[in-house]
Structure 1
């Protein structure tokens, strides 16, 4: 008798057009309304980057570099005890942790990491490994950038800054924070890697399989990064089949047009988070990370305004690929494109750049020798002709720079 028969949704945006609140209400058969059956809250910074998400008490935190690329992701649950409506105690745990070292390397809790191999901009292989394969104590390894150019990095201060950011996020969401410090990074044992999450269990299994290599402090050829997975995408770049080193299918995914997973078959070995358009799917929020923005496939909408909105004022800033997701893609969350036409356009631009560079080399050679050529004849250059060639070289340089900017926009 209490089966849900009607759902209502409420959306609130901030002054910059970023989605900050979603409320789902439900009217049951008995006519009673649960006005807060589900709540999602989002926190953004001044550059419209998502800092944190609260999914009914499950909080995810995000950090970015100076270029706006995501560098760290953590998420965890908050267990609290209330007595007579007053907070009495609780615990805040870290369920997942990801460190994006570069597009080629992602580290996680439990000392595990994933290497990515690309052909151009397309990811073709992911290789799994763990710190135990190296038999390394990170405390004995010089950190990148530490004491470089006379600078010393205080990692304790950076840790405290990150911890304060998490506390600020919980305060914004009106949730108590009761986390426990875990800074034992030996063999990747930090960030609550000994919790009961599948990621931690997988890391412990991988550590055990390479323990003999650790004891002898060398790589075991039979175990080192043996877990390799190959991507077989569709015409939009979305992961369709994932195969292992033996060619066996480890994961199979099919999608509805706007990116929501329709069918997924997988074994328990490993499953890729890089799904629709080969973008990372955040399970904790149900959104895809495109770089400039986050995309919600269940709503078929972007979560924030397009940074290049003024270039297409006649289009809704939240619409995904002008509502034609079976033909177009949006590699960065800023501009949609036809993947087939973009490849042709990139070839044309590269050919044009090569032609201009050849012309520039010819002009420079003529200035150096003081001789110009016309068909089969050469002639001596006067000062005016040399000036014209220098102007042409400068003009060519500007053209090449503009073409490279266009090429970068297409590739990204």
Structure 2
């Protein structure tokens, strides 16, 4: 299965043994210190594997100190609960359970009658009581309410950035270099939980420093995998040991086999929602082609889908940054050469996607060296607000509603905490055929960016 089964080193005096289930998932880890034995002048190092970790499932791990229960949301680990509770003697016999079939039949018959009369629920009973309260509960130890709980605060790649306890106090801070190597690992209370789940949310083995992705192990210090990619035939242009096409900021590798864009799922979800809205709007428009609202909404949705399709086909890299508050904007990073759509809601996502479409059509550009927007004019913002208003009328400020978008009205609204957000916006229409700072946008090979260092 191309799996690492054991590890031993004399440098740090650690050894390990790994076992895997039929599907290739690691289900047991034995670790311990190595001891040095000298015989006839020769030193031999032998590990004493006295520390055990059992991976009962993806949700529970058990070691010598107790167990850890993990909670996930859409595949991302969000919480770990440390416990030491256990069941009583498993050999103890459970009380005999009896069922009164006549009483059960009577209850079901009554339920059928009630359903017919309007009650849409049948509630069966066993032994006149709750199974858990009557049978199971008395064989359990009481849950220890003092068992600590820790929460993960992850970045867009799923890497744990902050760990907090149940009161919200910070217990650990983690910062990574681009390829996952630990840069900052700060513990605020060394006696508390220290997460082994770090880069991409994967477990980092303390004894080796390798990250267990499932299909294979990743060595972040060297930025390579330790074994051949099982799906290497899908990427013939890449070495089998390459991590995420050397693009760890934008891409993640779920289990060491395939590559997924970090924002692909969120992008696709939003596109499905918009496509569904388009279908509904089209049917409404077909019923009454004189309905101006239906016509405007259909045009707005069509414009958004066109922009998204252009962005998908572009060689330019885009990313999404869903935030709970702050300014909605589209930015360009000269270092990563990535355009990021920052948005707080669905309506603002549509607004920023419109700007993405303007980038692709050459209406809007960015300075290569500073990242500042170039050729950003009132008409670009008017188009974005028009699409936004057609789909979500009440999300647009009153000052610029009904197409009343100009320099004065834009600067009369507050964007985030900034009241003069649009003070530098161009008042004349700028596009791909407009000379800006002596350089035409269309002169750029991809019609997107301007290098102001070349201006005449």
Q: 1:117 aligns with which of 71, 74, 83?
A: 71
Mapping of 1:12-411 within 5 angstroms? 47-56=1-10, 58-85=14-41, 92-110=47-65, 112-130=66-84, 133-134=85-86, 136-137=88-89, 218-223=141-146, 226-266=147-187, 267=189, 268-345=191-268
Alignment partners' CA distance in 2, 1:140 and 1:293: 42
| 2:15–2:49 CA contact under 8 A, matched in 1 | no
Q: Would the alpha carbon gap of residues 285 and 351 (structure 1) be closer, same or farther in structure 2, given more than 3 Å must change?
A: farther
TM-score (norm 1): 0.51
- Deviations 1:265-308, CA, capped at 9 Å, x for gaps: 11221111100000001010101000111000010000001000
Alignment partners' CA distance in 2, 1:127 and 1:62: 24
In the TM superposition, what is the alpha-carbon distance from 1:349 to its structure 2 partner? 7.9
- Find the residue that maps to 2:255 and give its secondary structure: coil
| 2:88–2:141 CA contact under 8 A, matched in 1 | no
TM-score (norm 2): 0.46
Unaligned runs of 5+ in 1: 1-46, 143-215, 353-412
Q: Would the alpha carbon gap of residues 238 and 219 (structure 1) be closer, same or farther in structure 2, given more than 3 Å must change?
A: same
In the TM superposition, what is the alpha-carbon distance from 1:350 to its structure 2 partner? 10
In the TM superposition, what is the alpha-carbon distance from 1:347 to its structure 2 partner? 6.6
Q: Would the alpha carbon gap of residues 75 and 347 (structure 1) be closer, same or farther in structure 2, given more than 3 Å must change?
A: farther
In the TM superposition, what is the alpha-carbon distance from 1:315 to its structure 2 partner? 0.7
CA RMSD of the aligned region, Å? Answer: 3.0
Alignment partners' CA distance in 2, 1:293 and 1:346: 29
- Deviations 1:300-354, CA, capped at 9 Å, x for gaps: 00000100000110111111111111111101101112111233336768999xx
| 1:55–1:285 CA contact under 8 A, matched in 2 | no
Unaligned runs of 5+ in 2: 95-138, 276-456
In the TM superposition, what is the alpha-carbon distance from 1:134 to its structure 2 partner? 3.4
Q: Would the alpha carbon gap of residues 221 and 283 (structure 1) be closer, same or farther in structure 2, given more than 3 Å must change?
A: closer
In the TM superposition, what is the alpha-carbon distance from 1:139 to its structure 2 partner? 6.3
Alignment partners' CA distance in 2, 1:113 and 1:221: 13
Q: Would the alpha carbon gap of residues 346 and 317 (structure 1) be closer, same or farther in structure 2, given more than 3 Å must change?
A: farther
Alignment partners' CA distance in 2, 1:91 and 1:314: 42
- Find the residue that maps to 1:277 and give its secondary structure: helix
**Greater RCO, CA 8 A, separation 6+:** 1
Alignment partners' CA distance in 1, 2:273 and 2:30: 40
- Find the residue that maps to 1:345 and give its secondary structure: helix
Alignment partners' CA distance in 1, 2:250 and 2:88: 47
